[in-house]
Copies of this chain bind each other. A is one copy, B any other.
Amino acid sequence: MSNKNNVSRRNLLKQGALLVTSGLVMKGRNGFSQTSLPPVDTTKILGALPSELGSRSPFASIKREVGRFDPDGYSMTPLEKLSGIITPSDLHFERHHAGIPLIDPDRYELLIHGLVDRPLKFSLADLKRFPSVSRVCFIECSGNGYKTSFDRSDIPEDITPGQLDGLFSTSEWTGVRLSTLFREVGVRKKASWFLAEGQDAAVMTRSIPMSKAWDDALVVYAQNGESLRPEQGYPVRLLLPGWEGNSSVKWLRRFEISDAPFMTREETAKYADPRSTGKIEMFTFTMGPKSLITSPSYPIILPGKGWWEINGLAWSGNGKIDKVDISVDGGKTWQPATLHEPILSKCTTRFTFPWHWNGKSTLFMSRATDENGLQQPSVAEAREGRGPATYYHNNVIRPWKIDTDGQITFGLNVMV
């Protein structure tokens, strides 16, 4: 930073007066210029007037990275560009199997039937009349981090945090407890599973154990204060805190209560984990403890040695984050990072660590531990515990590599 020893108020005012511009600025959306340079002395020109809806500064554009499948796809949250824990709703990651349906809220109905005393349909107004509850929590796609599955031979080095793990976002969600609705219909005692069904063109279906309904499942209609975004399930989605994203079924239209899982195509053809024994483990819902350093990271080049803040995100589907440890020597020694408030269960926790980079090439990384003592595994630990083919639930430690020229790249290849 620049040190000007002779700065005075007089000099400041003089400088300002010299920089007055003509004040002619082209006005775009929300009154901001999209094309011309801003006035140098903004104190001499009336600024943009209030508006019904704010928009970003033209200097602060930000977007999700879109990936296409045929015919659908996904978009990823640019984690390295965000601070704190809340993801703005228009930057929340999206994943759907047959596009985003357009649903008229006035025609919306949620059906609950099966092993119940009173099959019922609920309108959106019906759902909003029940006692409401809000919760800040993360949603992570089960396939998040798939580009770096450690059985791959092509783990990229030139990958940003958002490209790596951006199928992960955090919002404040508001809705009604699923247990409230299940009591309303009178779920029978022998019920042990229920089907959650979406009304998208993939008719997304998952079988969920009843215990999750009695624990903390929500049926939500709001996200970060306002109505759900279309790609997040407008007008209503299921929310299963801490569980893989696909189980929080969007555009929710039906629950069927049963005494066995439904064995939908999502469960028989996908969302199960092949193990080294040759067997398949099904219904592996919970997202394990995980952390990711978002800064510094690829493609940053540190301009020199000295103090740099390591900054990142940690989360666990099992509960609260208990600690995050940092290694700046390739995993040989570890030191605790500072965890920032609020630290909430099944939610994202921001951590920071003051790092004095000595200018040498090294690997630096973070390791999360949750309140149940579960720890983010190394590649070797994950291989031993799960076998080589961990495609879903990839929560292995994510190292970054820094070279002597300050260039940072993704460093998992070095650990594999």
A contacts, CB < 8 Å to B: 1-9, 12, 25, 30-33, 37-40, 42-60, 62-68, 71-75, 81-92, 94, 96, 98-105, 107, 111, 113, 118-123, 126, 129-136, 172-174, 199-201, 203, 221-222, 224-231, 234-235, 251, 254, 256, 308-309, 311, 340-342, 344, 350, 352, 354
A64, closest chain B residue (CB) = B52
Also in contact, A53 and B59, with CB within 8 A (given A132-B311, A230-B48): no
B47 and A201 contacting across the interface, CB-CB below 8 Å: yes
B172 and A84 contacting across the interface, CB-CB below 8 Å: yes
A126, closest chain B residue (CB) = B1
B9 and A229 contacting across the interface, CB-CB below 8 Å: no
A-B contacts, 21 of them at CB < 8 A, read A1-B122, A2-B120, A4-B119, A42-B200, A43-B200, A46-B99, A50-B73, A51-B75, A52-B64, A54-B230, A57-B105, A82-B225, A83-B134, A83-B221, A83-B226, A84-B173, A84-B222, A88-B225, A131-B309, A133-B340, A341-B344
B62 and A226 contacting across the interface, CB-CB below 8 Å: yes
B111 and A47 contacting across the interface, CB-CB below 8 Å: no
On chain B, the residues within 8 Å of A92 by CB distance are 54
How far is it, in angstroms, between the C-alpha of A122 and the C-alpha of B3 when the chains are bound? 9
On chain B, the residues within 8 Å of A131 by CB distance are 309, 352, 354
List the number of copies, as a whole number.
Answer: 2
Quick one: which of B49, B52, B119, B122 contacts A72, CB cutoff 8 A?
B49
Tell me the minimal C-beta distance from A68 to chain B in angstroms: 8
B53 and A91 contacting across the interface, CB-CB below 8 Å: yes
A340 and B230 contacting across the interface, CB-CB below 8 Å: no
A227 and B60 contacting across the interface, CB-CB below 8 Å: yes
How far is it, in angstroms, between the C-alpha of A47 and the C-alpha of B63 when the chains are bound? 21
How far is it, in angstroms, between the C-alpha of A52 and the C-alpha of B78 when the chains are bound? 10
On chain B, the residues within 8 Å of A38 by CB distance are 101-104
B7 and A47 contacting across the interface, CB-CB below 8 Å: no
How far is it, in angstroms, between the C-alpha of A42 and the C-alpha of B234 when the chains are bound? 12
B344 and A342 contacting across the interface, CB-CB below 8 Å: yes
A88 and B91 contacting across the interface, CB-CB below 8 Å: no
A56 and B229 contacting across the interface, CB-CB below 8 Å: yes
B226 and A81 contacting across the interface, CB-CB below 8 Å: yes
How far is it, in angstroms, between the C-alpha of A6 and the C-alpha of B118 when the chains are bound? 10
